[in-house]
Every structure is written in structure tokens, then in C-alpha cells.
Chain A
Amino acid sequence: MAAVFMWVMPQGEDAFAASPAYAETIAKEYPLKAAFLYNFAKFVEWPPESNPETQGAFVIGIFGDDPFGRDIDELLGNKTINNKKIIVERFLSLKEVRPCHILFINSSEVKKLEDILDRLEGKSVLTVSETSLFTHNGGMINFVMEDNKVRFEINKQATDKAGLRLSSQLLKLAKSVIA
């Protein structure tokens, strides 16, 4: 009889983890995505005088449930963007959402995207999420997974409209761009 011990997930997954032989490094998902956010910040130019409310800080907002946890504070807490210290803020409801440089929207909140965009109208906020068709519905950068690697899509129409300038390198690395 097939007496089989199930070497099941997730240990089983990890033992032969997801990474084909050419993988170089392996990481947890959200610290990695946090590092992407940090890199986006380096490749996007915000209009001068935008976001005066942030008082000289570079604010990354997280709307909805926070998948990053403390990792993002540990990773980015002592980093700066254009000499602005990075601050991570969490917004649990739409009312709490305040202008920031980057707004990560949890996929559970994407249905409120229109309201969020209304609220950010005229502000230069880079919206980021990880939901299919996010960029088609007015979002700016969307994470997608491909072979356990993180890729992203860009909606350049939306970033243009918000006055954000994206470096050509960022556009080149995107999986797809809505121009």
C-alpha cells in the first residue's frame, strides 16, 4: 500500500522552494516589495512643492490591512529620499487617508479605488497595489508575480496626470506600460 508520509506544504514547498536553479537570492514577499517601493521612490520625480503637508518627510502610506508589518519600518526607517527621511504611515479607513508620496493600497481596498483617487485629486501621489487590472482602473503601479519573482505594470497616463515624472529606466523594466 502506498504508505506515504506527506511532505506537505509549506515545508515541502520550501524544501524545494520555488526557486529554479538560476535563482540568485530568495526573500520573503513583503520585505522584497518594500524594497521595490524604495526603488520606485528613487526613479520617480515628484513636482517641486508637492505634498507640503508631509513637512519635509518622504511619506509612504499603506491603506487597508498592512501586509508589510514591522519589516517595512525596519527596512526603510533609516533611509532617505532626496534628503527626506522616509516615514511609513498606515491608514485604516478612507477618511484617514492623507496625502503622501507613495500610497500602497491593499488589494482588499481596491474596490474603493475611485473614492481614493477622488480624494487624492490634484495631489502627486504614486498609487501602488497588487491587484489585477489595477493599472487599467486608474492605479499607477501594480505588482504582479511571475515565476515567484516580482514584476510591475505602469499606467503612465495616470502618473502623467498626477505630475509625476518616471525615469525611462523604470518604464523599461516594467512588464507593461499604459502610455
Chain B
Amino acid sequence: MPKKVVFVLALCLLVLSGRAFAVAAAPGLTELSLEELMNVEITSVSKTPQVLSRTAAAVHVISNEEIRRSGAATIPDLLRLVPGVQVVRIDANKWAVSVRGFNDRFTNNLLVLMDGRILYDPLFSGTHWDIQDTPFEDIDRIEVIRGPGGTIWGSNAVNGVINIITKSAKDTQGGYVSGGGGDTERAFGEFRYGGKAGDVPFRVYSKYTNRDDSPQGHDEWYAARAGGRADWDNGGDTRFTLQGDGYEGQMEATITRWFRTAPLAVVEDVREDASGGNVMGRMVREFNEKSDLQAQMYYDYTFRGSAHVELTRHTADLDVQYRFPAFDAQEVIVGGGYRVSWDETVPSLVAPVSVFIPADRHDDVWSWFVQDEITLIEDLLTLTIGSKFEVNDYTGFEYQPSASLAYFIDDKSTLWGSVTRAVRVPTPADVHSVTEFPSLLVGATTVTTRNRGQDEFKAEEIISYESGFRTQFYDKVSVDLASFYSEYRDLRTAELYGQEILNPFPTRLIQNVSLENNLEARTYGGELSLNYFVTKDWRLSGGYTYLYMHLTPGPTSDASEGVEKRSPRHSAFAQSFIQLPWNWQLDSAIRYVDELRGLNVKSYVVADVRLAWQPRPDWELSLAARNLFATDHLEYIQPLFFETFGLARRVESSVYGKVTVKF
């Protein structure tokens, strides 16, 4: 019998036995040459393998090696080299990171996760990039999904999702110590030890970073953390993970304190602190290649003592999902989750600004989702439809459906399109807060803006239409192009209401502002990502992002217009990774970011370079220089807000050295 017929027959049998992929794919492996084998990727867990190039979404992955070779020292700095992501450093310990526009320190439409645990802080309406960190060596990869990931990921994944995934304990056996320092990165150190307790692989780690002030700033800071993870299985079909960590940090900030009498305002340097911890358990039971049950539970504690308000938050979260095949060509995933959180807010004694009413809250959210991936034509056309449903304490029932179509032109090229509706559910800040911050000082008159959340505050909505194309040529070049058009409704605005006179002399006026949903927006743009494997030892990559935003605020809305001018219209980067003889590596990147007209921030071009040498396989010495060329540039000015109060903090060139020893 001809070989092909045997193969097809075998395939049929295997399909019937429900184990199509794994076994059918496996015999092919021995037909591959050694070079070809070296290009095969493995799934980090033994589940249905899916090639990223087939995903019907704009996804970018930063691998562990790219993380190490980027020379970046913080997670926001790593994200600068992802198309479609806007990263700005506001001062030495504050960043704004967003996807596809609306960049601000309080970016509330980007969901950030670490191993599935939410890092986004709803009280703060953003992610504390200063305190969210982990040893880079143990990060397996960072996945960035641009566009609404609502169907699967849930609320706040309006513009994108960033998921930081750490390695399994099995892959971090052995120990390492690394440390170093420089001008901006004053001192840092990491330690990890991976071993086995009986049969159970585990690791423990700790990390410390201490960073210098920005030029003119008083914003030095440190952060310290320690944690661990264990992964094991029952010898059969069930795997378990237990992990957790704790952290603590202190950041200097410049704030303005306001008084009702002279001197009215004092600019002061203060020290803020943050701490937290979490523990997570996860179980995966695999019934067969196409079916499994997963459950995850975590508890997270967060404390943030800012000069204006102290936030404490406890969160418990349980999620379950079940995946199974249906009919002939469908793969269904259903899931549900419950999340409860307790918040406490205490006006700070230093410079009280925000008050949450009530000060203590308890919120819970129930959610469900269903997704069906339907193979319309085998190896040619796949339709995925699904929706997320949830019930929350603010807006009640919310639904977030999506549909996407993937067309596999050939093994190496995919064309995809999707339509998604997602929402951002209000946070306590939108609904229950009263924030007072003096916004004007004219002679002896202070004007205090009083921001008030509204019970009627609605969920913000996005409907996004996306399409993309991925292909590769001669195994050397890969191209990933994505485009989008999005319509936003009911975005948050600040509406001005009447003024009150509180104190005739010195005159103290209160400007009442209420938070409402009076902004509509349209955005469109695209991202291009390229990879060129020039030789085995040299790789080039690059990206270009175009973003157009048009906002239509309501007639009485204040301050919302500038938003569209706070994100760059063009940005681009190019990167080179060179493996030199005698175990040297030379890696470099050049980045361009367009001007931010709304903030009068000019465009800039900077370069990062890293040189590393491995005298022995278990030793690495490296030297990284960052932000070259533009020795002193401005990336952002946080719009008038009580904290940094429009202070511009520049970013300067920096250099640091690092030694890593494995044992």
C-alpha cells in the first residue's frame, strides 16, 4: 500500500479515536532533520498545541530571551518594543502604559495579569508599574493582545491585555544569583533557587531594585520582593501549581499640600509606600487531547499608602473552565468565575485629597463565558464565536460578545478578521469617590476642584472591528500586520457644575465637577511587526504603529479633548540581536516616538545597547546603556493632577552593569 494511503488511513483511525493531533503529528518528527527539529516549538504544557500564527487576534509575544537581551530593567521598558503599545515614563517611579491610545497614568482600559492574577487596581484605576515585577530570568514570556479581549478576559480588557507568564518550577531548576548597578539603576540583585522536595519541583526567589531620582526630581525608590512556586502532578492526568509572593516598596514623590490659610500651598517631597502579597493554586485535569477541566483560585492583598489616600484591598477569585469537543468540528469552552473584594480607604494624614464614600466597600462579580471554535473547512476556515456575561455591583448585567474568522491561506499565512464588543465596568473611583484638589491659585484665591463620582455612572463601551494578516517567507522573514477601527461610547468625562464660595477671605472657591459618560470616540490604526533571521546568529526585528484618535465630548465636558493628543500618532522601532564569536552578544534597539501635541512633548529618537559575554556557560557579564542619543528627553507630563502637579520629569541616558552566576 502506498505510504500516503497508509498515513491517511492511520489519520482517520486516529481521528476516530479522538487523539488526532498529538499522535498524527508525532511520527513526522523523526522525518525532520536536526536543523528542522531545532525550529520546532514546544508547548509548555501538554495541551492542544496551537500555533500563534493561526490566532485570530493581534498578539505579540516577548520571549524570555528577548527579555534578557533587551537590556530593559523594568516591565514597562520591555513593553516599549511591542507594536501598538504606548509606554511613557512620567517620573522615575511612575509610568503610563496603554494599548491603542488613551494613554495616561490612570489607564483604565488595559488589563494586566501575571500568571492569570489581575494586577490592575480598580481603586487606583490603573496598574502600579512601580511595584509589579518579578525576576526576569523566570518569566517565560509576556503576551500582549491588542484590541478588546473582552470575550475571554472580561472587563477592562477594552483596549488590550498584557499577560506576564512565569516559568514552571520544573523549568527553573538550579540556582542563580545576579546583581549589578549603574547610575539610574543604582543597585539591583536577584536570587533564585530551584530544587525538588521529594518529587515536587519548586523554586524560591527574591529580588531587590533601588533606583535613582530623575533629573530635577525627588522620585528615587526601591522595591523588594520574595516568592516561590511549585508544580507537580498526580502521576496521571492532573497537574497542580501553587505559587505566591510578597513585596514591599517605597517611592519618593513631590506633592502639593494645600492650606486654608497662608501659605496656602507648599510643594513638598514625601515618601509613599506600597506592599502586598498573594497566593494562588491551580489545577488542570486533562481528560484527553481535546478536553480538560481547569480551576484556579487566588487571594491577593494590596496596600498603597499614597500622600493623598491609603488604599487597602483584599481580593479572592475563583475561576473554572471546561473544554470539550462537540459534534465533528467544534471545540467548546465554557467557564464561570466568582470574585469578591474588600476595599478600605483612609484619607491620608499627609495631604488628604480623595475620599471614598463609603470608605469601606465589598464588591462581588459573577461571570460566565462560552466560546465555540467551529472548523468550517478543515485547515482552511475557522469561525470562533463567544460571549462573556457578568453581573457586577455597579451596572448589573453586562455582555461582551465577539466573532472572529480565520482563513489559513497556506501553512504559513493566515488572514483574520473579528468584531468585538467590550465594556469597562465602573470602578469605585467613578462612582463613590470625592476628590478635591486645588487647581488654581490666583492671588489669595484658591479654586478647588471637587470631583464627584456618580451612582448613575455607566459602563464604557467599545465596539472594535479588526483584521490582520501574518505570513512568512523562506523561514527567514515573518510579517504580522494588524489594523483596527473602534468606536467608543459613554466614555468618562468631567462635567463642570456651579461654584461655591467656601471662605470669603482668603477666598476659597469650590468648582463642582461630576463624572459622567459624555464622550464618544473613534480610533483607527494599525501595527506592523517584522522579523528577519539573517543568519543563525543574527536576527533583526522591527515594528511600526499608526494611531488616529478622534474624540467627541459632550457640550459641557471639560478636559477630555486633550486626550487624543496625548498618544503618539506614529511610533517605530528596530532591533538587532547578534551572537558574536567567543560567546559575546551585541544587542541594540532604536526607538522613535512621535510628538504628543496635547502635552507639548516633542518627538524623540533613542537607542538602547547591550553587550554581554559568557566566559563560561554559567557566568554572564553584561553592560547595558539605555536612552542614548536623546540624553535628556521628556516623554510625558501627567496632566494637571494633585500628585505630580504638572511637573515635567525628564528621562536621561543611563548605563548599568550586571553579573549573573548560575549554580
Residues of A within 8 A of B (CB): 1-29, 31-32, 34-36, 38-39, 43, 71, 74-76, 79, 107-108, 131-133, 135-136, 145-151, 153, 169-170, 173, 176
Interchain CB contact under 8 A, A1 and B34: no
What residues on A are CB-neighbors of B46 within 8 Å? 28-29
A73–B12 CA distance with the chains assembled, in angstroms: 21
Residue on B with the closest CB to A40? Answer: B34
Pairwise interchain contact B282-A8, C-beta atoms closer than 8 A: yes
Q: Taking the nearest CB of chain B, how far is it from the CB of A136, in angstroms?
A: 7
Chain B residues 362-404 with CB under 8 Å of chain A are 363, 365-367, 369, 388, 390, 392-394, 398
Q: Are B116 and A173 in contact (CB under 8 A)?
A: no
Q: In the assembly, what is the distance between CA of A37 and CA of B57, in Å?
A: 36
Query: Is B491 part of the binding interface, using a Cβ–Cβ cutoff of 8 Å?
Result: no
Task: Name which residue of chain A comes closest to B315, CB basis.
Answer: A2
Which of A1, A8, A16, A145 has a CB less than 8 Å from the CB of B296?
A8
Please provide the chain B residues from 148 to 184 with a CB less than 8 Å away from any CB of chain A in the complex: 152-157, 163, 165, 171, 173-174
Interface size class of B (residues with CB under 8 A): 35 or more
CB neighbours (8 Å) of B52 from chain A are 16-21, 23
Which of B184-201 touch A at CB < 8 Å?
196, 199
Q: Which residues of B contact A136 (CB under 8 A)?
A: 617-618
Contacts of B174 in A (CB 8 A): 131-133
B583 touches A176 (CB 8 A): yes
What are 18 A-B residue pairs whose CB atoms fall within 8 Å in the complex? A2-B156, A2-B427, A3-B155, A7-B116, A8-B321, A13-B43, A14-B49, A15-B50, A17-B43, A19-B53, A21-B480, A24-B40, A28-B46, A32-B37, A32-B42, A145-B42, A146-B65, A150-B42
User: CA A108 – CA B120 in complex, angstroms?
Assistant: 39
Q: In the complex, are the beta carbons of A149 and B427 less than 8 A apart? A: no
> Which of B39, B196, B321, B470 interacts with A149 by CB under 8 Å?
B39
Q: Please report which residues of chain B, range 100-150, place their CB below 8 angstroms from some CB of chain A when the two chains form the complex.
A: 111, 113, 115-118, 120, 122, 140-141, 143, 145
Q: Give Cα A71–Cα B26 distance, bound, in whole angstroms.
A: 8
A132 near B154 (CB under 8 angstroms)? Answer: no
Within 8 Å CB of B363, what residues of A? 1
CA distance A151 to B40 in the complex (A): 10
Contact B367 A11 (CB under 8 A): no
Partner of B51 from the list A13, A19, A131, A149 (CB cut-off 8 Å) is A19
Is B552 close to A, CB under 8 A? no
Whether A11 and B425, one on each chain, are in contact in the complex, defined by CB atoms closer than 8 angstroms, is no
Q: In whole angstroms, how far apart are the Cα atoms of A22 and B534 in the complex? A: 13
Within B422-449, the residues touching A (CB, 8 Å) are 425, 427-428
Q: Which residues of B contact A132 (CB under 8 A)?
A: 173-174, 618, 662
Is A11 a contact of B333 with CB atoms below 8 Å?
A: yes
Point out the residues of chain A lying under 8 angstroms from B341, CB to CB.
1
Is B369 a contact of A5 with CB atoms below 8 Å?
yes
* Complexed CA–CA distance, A28 and B29 (Å): 10
Contact A18 B141, CB 8 Å, known A11-B292, A35-B29: yes
Whether, in the assembled complex, B603 has its beta carbon less than 8 Å from a beta carbon of chain A, the answer is no
Whether B365 pairs with A1 at a CB distance below 8 angstroms is: yes
Q: Please, what's the 1-or-0 string for B239-274, where 1 marks a CB less than 8 Å from any CB in chain A?
A: 101000000000000000000000000000000000
Contact with A along B433-469 (1 / 0, CB 8 A): 0000000000000000000000000000000000000
Tell whether, in the assembled complex, residue B282 and residue A131 are in contact, meaning their CB atoms are under 8 Å apart: no
Nearest-neighbour CB distance to chain A for B339, whole angstroms, equals 6
Residues A6 and B317 in contact, CB atoms below 8 Å apart: yes
Residues of B within 8 A of A147 (CB): 41, 63-66
> Is B45's CB under 8 angstroms from A9's CB?
yes
Check A43 against B34 for contact (C-beta < 8 Å).
Answer: yes
Point out the residue from B51, B61, B337, B617 that lies within 8 Å of A5, measured CB to CB: B337
B38 on the A face (CB < 8 A): yes
What are the residues of chain A within 8 A of B529 when measuring CB–CB? 21
| Chain B min CB distance to A29 (Å) | 4
Contact B50 A17 (CB under 8 A): yes
Please indicate the chain A residues that have their CB under 8 angstroms from the CB of B171 in the complex.
145
Q: Which residues B605-621 have CB closer than 8 A to chain A?
A: 617-618
Give the complex CA separation of A12 and B39 in angstroms. 23
In-complex Cβ contact of A4 among B35, B57, B153, B196 (8 A): B153
In-complex Cβ contact of A74 among B23, B51, B336, B480 (8 A): B23
Of the listed residues B41, B47, B321, B337, the one surrounded by the most CB atoms of chain A closer than 10 A to its CB is B41
Check if A5 sits within 8 Å of B111, measured CB to CB: no
Complex CA gap A33/B215 in Å reads: 52
Considering residues A20, A24, A27, A29, which has the most beta carbons from chain B within 10 angstroms of its beta carbon?
A20
Known contacts A4-B154, A7-B152, A21-B478; decide if A26 and B111 are in contact (CB<8 Å). no
Report yes or no: A3 in contact with B39, Cβ–Cβ below 8 A: no
B26:A75 contact, CB within 8 angstroms:
yes
Q: Is the CB of B44 within 8 A of A18?
A: yes
B206 to chain A, nearest CB (A): 20
Shortest Cβ distance from residue A169 to the other chain B in the assembled complex, whole angstroms: 7
Question: Do B34 and A170 touch (CB < 8 A)?
Answer: yes
Complex partner residue of B155 from A4, A6, A149, CB under 8 angstroms: A4
Residues of A within 8 A of B152 (CB): 5, 7, 15
Chain B's nearest CB lies how many Å from the CB of A178?
9
4 closest cross-chain pairs (CB), A and B: A3-B365, A8-B116, A10-B45, A4-B154
Instruction: Judge whether A28 and B43 touch: CB under 8 Å.
Output: yes
Q: How far is the CA of A12 from the CA of B516 in the complex (A)?
A: 35
A35 and chain B: residue at smallest CB distance:
B29
Closest to B412 in A: A24
**Cβ contact of A27, chosen from B41, B120, B663, cutoff 8 A:** B41
Q: Nearest CB to that of B366 among chain A residues?
A: A3
Verify A26–B118 contact, CB threshold 8 A.
no
* In the complex, chain B residues whose CB is within 8 Å of the CB of A2: 111, 118, 120, 122, 154-156, 339, 425, 427
The 8 Å CB contact of A25, one of B41, B118, B196, is: B41
Contact residues in B for A10 (Cβ distance below 8 Å): 44-45, 47, 239, 284, 294
Say yes or no: B30 contacts A14, CB within 8 Å.
Answer: no
- Which B residue sits closest to A152, measured CB to CB? B38
Q: Which residues of A contact B394 (CB under 8 A)?
A: 1
Instruction: Flag if A39 contacts B37 (CB, 8 Å).
Output: yes
Q: Which residues of A contact B40 (CB under 8 A)?
A: 24-27, 32, 149-150
Closest to B617 in A: A176
B321 touches A11 (CB 8 A): yes
Beta-carbon contacts of B322-356 to A below 8 Å, as 1s and 0s? 01000000000101110101000000000000000
> Which of A22, A75, A146, A170 has a CB less than 8 Å from the CB of B30?
A75
In contact, B143 and A22 (Cβ under 8 angstroms): no
- Which chain B residues border A71 with CB–CB below 8 Å? 26
Is B53 in contact with A1, judged by CB distance below 8 angstroms? no
